[in-house]
Amino acid sequence: MSRRPGHIRRRGSNWEIRWRINGKIKTETFKGTLKAAEKRLREVHDLADRGMAPAKDTCAAWFDIWLDATKHELSPITAKRYRLTVKTMFVPHFGTLKLAELNRVQIRQAWAALSDRLAPSSIWVAHRALSACLSYAVEAGLIAANPCANWRGRGLPKVPHQEQSALNSQALADLIDAARGHPIFAPVIIATGTGGRRAEISALVWSDVDMTTGIVTISKAHKELSAGSVIIGPPKGGRGRKIRLPTSYLELLAEWRRTQAEQLLALGHRVGPDDYICTDKIGRLMAPNRITDAFRELAKRCRISATFHTLRHSHASLLLAAGTDIKTVQTRLGHSTASITLNVYGHQIPGNDKDEAERLDRALRGLAR
């Protein structure tokens, strides 16, 4: 309990908090445990030390302010996702509360209630969004602390670890053969040969590929806001990269270039360096969602259980199985750190306990000598 002037007393099922700011007595009704009320008193004292009063607006009002204030800082897709999360999750559970009253108990109760109908990963995403929202309120001086900060997983559902599925080389070869003559041919070639994401592959134009060396420059990505609404932005993580296509895949891409040139020349268009690589038979862009839908049909024809993202996992798995170092795989995939690559694909790295034991034995014998 804070030693500074203040008082907490029971008021029915709630607590009344009293403190002094600028010579005036302030009161606040608080819902929660006594321990949480004591923490709240310490927070209002911190605000009082700065000459500030707690926020009186409701959480719903603050959510609107936050969405409006940060919309230019976020990608359009993230901003859209935040608006939906606020509307369907935050407002129903926290909207009528005063911003100053929102605490961990109420947040944990909301996540527990939502866990019956939402996946654990969805609740984690919502928690991160709420934490960002409340951090902004701290920056604005409306609350003393972010109740979502430093949870370290407590009060949040565990996300089960799922190993990423991957296809072997024969299954990939069968997919490529089945894709010939279809608009999905180019996306499958590039995804399998580079491990690129669908948004990155969709945004590639012919000048991004050196058809002599096979080097593919990934510097942008398509972001699909809605059907028919596609914008260009940076790749995930904000950094581009250069990846070399294997020779056999470069030959397949050259095959696609001839096919595309014939298709579009019949429509009166000569393919140039600024044309998209991934188009359908009449030259329309294969946007990310179209790639997903087309691959779903291809997988169905081939009778395999896979998504387009499986090609990315397969690319990484084959590299690691062949002994490629983790740093190279990280660079090709565009992960920000090698630890991310290890967390996702570490189980794919071949290891033999007998080999490790023999290596240790040789090292120990060397020390003995």
The band of 358, judged by pLDDT with boundaries at 50, 70 and 90, is: low
- CATH architecture of the region 169-348: Orthogonal Bundle (1.10)
Alpha helices in the chain (DSSP H): 34-49, 59-70, 76-85, 91-94, 104-114, 120-139, 169-179, 185-194, 198-202, 247-265, 288-302, 308-321, 326-333, 338-345, 353-368
Instruction: Please determine whether the domains at 6-139 and 169-348 fall in the same fold group of CATH.
Output: no
- What's the pLDDT tens digit per position in 134-164? 999 888 878 888 999 888 767 788 876 665 6
With 0-12 CB in 10 A as exposed, 13-18 as middle and 19+ as buried, what is 114?
middle
Tell me the pLDDT tens digit for each residue of 244-294. 999 999 999 999 999 999 999 999 999 999 999 999 999 999 999 999 999
CATH of domain 6-139: 1.10.150.130
pLDDT (mean) for 53-66: 82
pLDDT of residue 22: 62
pLDDT at 195 over 80: yes
So what's the pLDDT on residue 145?
Answer: 86
- Mean per-residue pLDDT, 338-363: 59
Tell whether the model's pLDDT for residue 184 goes beyond 90.
yes
From residue 50, give the alpha-carbon distance in Å to each of 27, 46, 53: 17, 7, 9
Band (pLDDT 50/70/90 cuts) for residue 45 is: confident
pLDDT at 356 over 60: no
pTM over 0.85: no
Answer whether residue 77 shows pLDDT above 80: no
- Find out whether 43 and 65 touch, Cβ atoms under 8 Å: no
Q: What percent of the chain has pLDDT over 70?
A: 85
Q: How do the domains of the chain map onto residue ranges?
A: 6-139, 169-348
CA 190 distance to own-chain centroid: 22
- The per-residue DSSP string of 74-108 comes to S-HHHHHHHHHHIIIIIHHHHTTSBGGG--HHHHH
40 against 332, higher pLDDT: 332
